[in-house]
């Protein structure tokens, strides 16, 4: 992060475009070139990509258990697809070129249609040359509403990302720079959060939905001016809310919080040079009506309970610079294989419980994402831990996950540092 180049941080509040409420009719996303104010007001605007005229795209809101249709129109001059990250949907709606669909060509429209089974915080993004298209702005929040929403005064989306920009706000488009690909990935020199509203009152109880929509950056975030609890990770409710401390979000990860506002709410990224302000929610008056009450858990998920694993596979991350073990014929690999091979990494019977040991044999952290499913991280004690769709594995570390593969189809399994995925760190599994 070159803070000298962009000393002014994101204190100018930008508000996300208004939500598109899922009515019986179809939602619409048009992928197109947009001009967005990312740097503080007064600095240059950024020519980039987005949806419906803005970056990030509109917040899509839909109801759990109800079919939603989304027309995606391609207003770009190249192909695209959209992936609904974290939604356990039908395979042919997953938005992955080659594996689940053909590209949407320029001028064409594809209707995606699915029934979201889980209430929570998700997001959507381009899944075609996504290390470029998502970095250029093809990202947006997706909220599946709770059957019974928690008792809060505001429900606020906080989308985090970073961009590599010149002083004038224009993007530095070195997405495929080899040095970046072999290290931490294409990374921004300016970061900020987009909030769905700018003000709260002190005394309000607020739900915050943080989404890391950056292509490669891990965000360590502290939130000041509140007390509260973590209530969900990656769109899945925690059985017991957890006291709020520093949050670490790998690319694509989400966290939901319920907090009580005491004053201006600051969102700061921890950097080696100190805190870097991503956004702030200012207070406008006081809420004197709210009685203090404990924060209760959100309605639980209904993921299938894992049985005894019938397969135990190992997924070894390899490659990259700085002494990673090498294998495969691209920069990065899983188990000596770069990119999508003819054969899947795993073949599972529908409903099978599988344990996967993820070994990070590289010098960089990786956030590994499985499509179409959520899985349990296995804790140090061997017990089932958090439910996630993306798990962060530090350099040199390993992590076991347990997943019930109950969703038929061909599913991608890849590093969500999108430069690493482009550099070869992706594979797939099949569920019959």
Where along the sequence are the contacts to ligand C2O (CB under 6 A)?
Answer: 83, 85, 125, 127, 252, 369, 371, 412, 414, 416
Q: Which does 209 bind (CB under 5 to 8 A by kind): Cu ion, ligand C2O, none?
A: none
Q: Which is nearer to ligand C2O, 127 or 373 (CB)?
A: 127
Query: Which tokens sit at 164?
Result: 């590599």
Q: Which is nearer to ligand C2O, 44 or 97 (CB)?
A: 97
Q: Which is nearer to Cu ion, 50 or 185 (CB)?
A: 185
Please state the closest distance from residue 220 (CB atom) to Cu ion, in A: 17
Inter-residue contact 138 to 92 (CB < 8 Å): no
**Using the rule CB under 5 A, is 417 a contact of Cu ion?**
yes
199-202 and 274-286 beta bridge pairing: parallel
Query: Which tokens sit at 165?
Result: 């920009």
Task: Say how many residues make up the chain.
Answer: 432
Q: Scan residues 344-403 and list those touching Cu ion (CB under 5 A).
A: 366
Please state the closest distance from residue 3 (CB atom) to ligand C2O, in A: 28
Percentages helix, strand, coil for the chain, rounded to the nearest 5?
5, 50, 45
Rg, the chain, Cα only: 21
Q: Which is nearer to ligand C2O, 55 or 252 (CB)?
A: 252
Q: Which does 401 bind (CB under 5 to 8 A by kind): ligand C2O, Cu ion, none?
A: none
| Phi-psi category of residue 274: left, alpha or beta, with phi > 0 → left and psi -120 to 50 → alpha | left
Q: Which does 369 bind (CB under 5 to 8 A by kind): Cu ion, ligand C2O, none?
A: ligand C2O
Q: Which does 412 bind (CB under 5 to 8 A by kind): ligand C2O, Cu ion, none?
A: ligand C2O
Q: Which is nearer to Cu ion, 404 or 429 (CB)?
A: 429
Binding pattern for the stretch 312-351 against Cu ion, x by CB under 5 A and - elsewhere:
----------------------------------------
Q: Find residue 68's DSSP bridge partners.
A: 114
Inter-residue contact 264 to 226 (CB < 8 Å): no
Q: Which residues contact 48 (CB under 8 A, 6 or more apart)?
A: 33, 34, 35, 36, 55, 136, 137, 163, 171
Chain residue whose CB lies nearest ligand C2O: 85
Please state the closest distance from residue 320 (CB atom) to ligand C2O, in A: 19
Binds Cu ion by CB under 5 A, chosen from 376, 420, 422, 426: 420
In the three-class reduction of DSSP (H, G, I as helix; E, B as strand; rest coil), residue 366 is classed as strand
Q: Which is nearer to ligand C2O, 217 or 416 (CB)?
A: 416
Q: Which does 340 bind (CB under 5 to 8 A by kind): Cu ion, ligand C2O, none?
A: none
**Using the rule CB under 5 A, is 415 a contact of Cu ion?**
yes
Please state the closest distance from residue 426 (CB atom) to ligand C2O, in A: 8
Q: Which does 414 bind (CB under 5 to 8 A by kind): Cu ion, ligand C2O, none?
A: ligand C2O
Q: Which residues contact 195 (CB under 8 A, 6 or more apart)?
A: 13, 14, 15, 16, 156, 157, 158, 279, 281
Distances in Å between the Cα of 364 and the Cα atoms of 16, 395, 415 are 32, 5, 11
Please state the closest distance from residue 160 (CB atom) to Cu ion, in A: 18
Separation between Cα atoms, residue 50 and residue 32, nearest integer Å = 6
Query: Residues in the site for Cu ion, rule: CB under 5 A?
Result: 366, 415, 417, 420
């Amino acid at each position: 992060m070159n803070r000298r180049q962009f000393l002014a941080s994101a204190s100018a509040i930008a508000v996300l475009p208004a939500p598109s409420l899922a009515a019986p009719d179809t939602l619409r996303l048009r992928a197109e070139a947009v001009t967005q104010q990312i740097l503080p007001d007064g600095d240059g605007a950024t020519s980039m990509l987005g949806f419906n005229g803005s970056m990030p795209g509109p917040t899509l809101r839909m109801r759990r258990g109800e079919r939603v249709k989304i027309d995606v129109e391609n207003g770009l001059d190249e192909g695209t697809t959209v992936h609904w990250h974290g939604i356990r949907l039908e395979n042919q709606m997953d938005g992955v070129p080659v594996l689940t669909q053909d590209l949407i060509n320029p001028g064409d429209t594809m209707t995606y249609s699915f029934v979201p089974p889980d209430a929570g915080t998700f997001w959507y993004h381009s899944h075609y040359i996504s290390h470029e298209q998502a970095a250029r702005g093809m990202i947006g929040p997706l909220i599946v509403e709770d059957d019974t929403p928690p008792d809060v005064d505001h429900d606020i989306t906080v989308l985090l990302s970073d961009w590599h920009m010149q002083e004038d706000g224009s993007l530095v488009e070195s997405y495929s720079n080899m040095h970046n690909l072999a290290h931490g990935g294409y990374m921004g020199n300016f970061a900020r959060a987009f909030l769905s509203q700018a003000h709260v009152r002190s005394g309000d109880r607020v739900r915050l939905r943080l989404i890391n929509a950056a292509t490669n950056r891990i965000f360590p975030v502290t939130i000041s001016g509140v007390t509260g609890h973590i209530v969900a990770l990656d769109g899945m409710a925690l059985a017991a809310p957890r006291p709020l401390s520093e949050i670490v979000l790998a690319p694509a990860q989400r966290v939901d919080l319920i907090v009580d506002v005491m004053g201006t709410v600051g969102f700061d990224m921890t950097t080696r040079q100190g805190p870097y302000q991503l956004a702030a929610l200012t207070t406008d008056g006081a809420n004197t009506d709210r009685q203090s009450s404990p924060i209760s858990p959100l309605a639980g998920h209904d993921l299938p309970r894992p049985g005894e694993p019938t397969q135990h596979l190992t997924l070894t991350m390899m490659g990259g610079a700085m002494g990673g073990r090498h294998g495969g014929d691209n920069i990065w690999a899983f188990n000596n294989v770069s990119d999508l091979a003819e054969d899947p990494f795993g073949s599972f019977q529908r409903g099978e419980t599988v344990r996967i040991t993820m070994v990070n044999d590289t010098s960089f952290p990786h956030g590994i994402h499985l499509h179409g499913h959520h899985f349990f991280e296995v804790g140090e004690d061997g017990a089932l831990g958090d439910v996630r769709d993306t798990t962060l594995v530090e350099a040199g570390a390993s992590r076991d996950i347990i997943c019930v593969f109950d969703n038929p189809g061909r599913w991608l399994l890849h590093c969500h540092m999108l430069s690493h995925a482009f550099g070869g760190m992706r594979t797939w599994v099949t569920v019959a």
